[in-house]
Structure 1
């Protein structure tokens, strides 16, 4: 039996789906909703605000050659070194969640599945099914599509190795962005393996748009129908941070807005926009109209991202932070390509975690929804998504309850 206990302490608030949960695993306790920080990007003398602690996200891209090299090396080669470095950077009391992106477009073999199961068991408090974007993106038809069958076999191969080698470890199933037909099929696989917590890979898409809602809404209905809505956990990995809206002069933060759609933990986005790498690097180094570098900063009050000229950063920087605005501005000026991208990840991860803590405080009184929908970054589209998803969620929840009675 796994040492994972999930307790929901509210009734999902007035509208939307806003669960307030206590998560206990391996002697650790965290509260959700929250946003993960990424300690592997910290450098010497850098740290997060203590109130932003809770979930530490580790991430590593893994190919077949990486796994073969690690399997030959008694010390695990560079693959283990990288994860060990990230792991040691995370606070001891944080819940560590490790994601690996398997880069092959073929079925995960038994030997590789075995090594990945051991790798996740060594560096993760909850074992996540590896991300497999190449297989997922190759799926074109229905459940008999060869790429989907390969993906499904890979999931089962990993789960089998976990059950055999780490039977007491809690497991988080992977939900790919494939459409409800595929998700429904995978839920049967996970249920057969006793898996009831899930990581949804949004592949850098906005959680609150229609395409994603056509998957998220029936997913929330499904867990309500099965009666596990109070004992599950949803992790959003690779959510899009959103796109700029000229009308408000900022980017509505669609990643953190997913907290109102039943998600408990907002993870990082490790997927580049669909463009050549050179174009992405140029976009990230983009400067303002006067040639001055800009820093994309999450506003935890309004739930938006603002592009701030670095000369204005000390005035715009949040007061509640462990990072130094002057130091960040200086480093961005010196290295607008590399330093800016890393520091944006760190600062914004910290600020989203603090915003989630503020949300938890409001959820304790069941008064979150009226305050959330007044935020600048919660668009009409997002409000509609909240209402639509909650309505169908309640229909299944109450219908299930009547049937049980």
Structure 2
């Protein structure tokens, strides 16, 4: 943790750039952007469409030029990088290989996918968080787990001095949402969800292969989100996944690692590349996070002993789909790529494992915002509060 507000998984702090950086990124001075006299007036669709087409065509053309250089110059050098994974390089999978994965694994329910969802309600008297995790195969849902957390500040204390209590709660609520205490609370919710997804994959799933979303060694887990217990439990589960189970594949649907994704755009349909282990990334997290002494030692041990066993790669199943980062055990990296690609080719326009999408839809259906909102509204009504504490902003997902 390098500042008072630690980085978060999906609400990362934006860096502050100078005017020169702004000019380089957007092609105009910041002063020009802030001058409202230079802004368009009304809605001139012809000019808007012309500008969009020109800018997008220029960006796509540049990507095409970059793609050719990556294929001819960068890919051949993957294995010679200083900290390269020994099997780093580009590989091709055939349609026949993918068909075998369909027949022998995916459609025989030998792959379980796990995903989670989180919804919360936040109001003055109470905060409620609901975390749900579902396990799905192509034969249906095999497990669903949920946890609800209730934050009741007023109900948790009783000093016998009503005036002092009221003043304390006013001060506490005023300061709570301006400091890092609530930031850590939000991080804890995300960390708990990330942990629960991996724990379900290890302890509750039964298939030969296990599939998850994102990076298995997520930042929230490797940092513990600021909580020693979460760190220790998370690393224990990850060690079991990595050293005992091994047959797993995680696929990312985000724009993290944009440099590697740029390389992925140079892949042809049906190609995948093995890039590096997670040791370098793990070292960066541990160096930059503020742990306690025992926690830091625990994190370093994981990075030293377990991170080198997880390989990061990238695949592309269609010329019409984006490349996807994937993570797998080094002993099963090629087969993991085939499993992810075989599932992704079922929706070539998206190029992302369909089983993970099915799991996400199933999880939202069981633990989504609509059912949760109904329970919250009913409870407020039964308490005689009507809807005075219900706001759109109070619902988060």
TM-score (norm 2): 0.26
Select the structure of larger CA radius of gyration.
2
Is the helix fraction higher in 1 or 2? 2
> With structure 1 as the length reference, what TM-score do the two structures score?
0.26
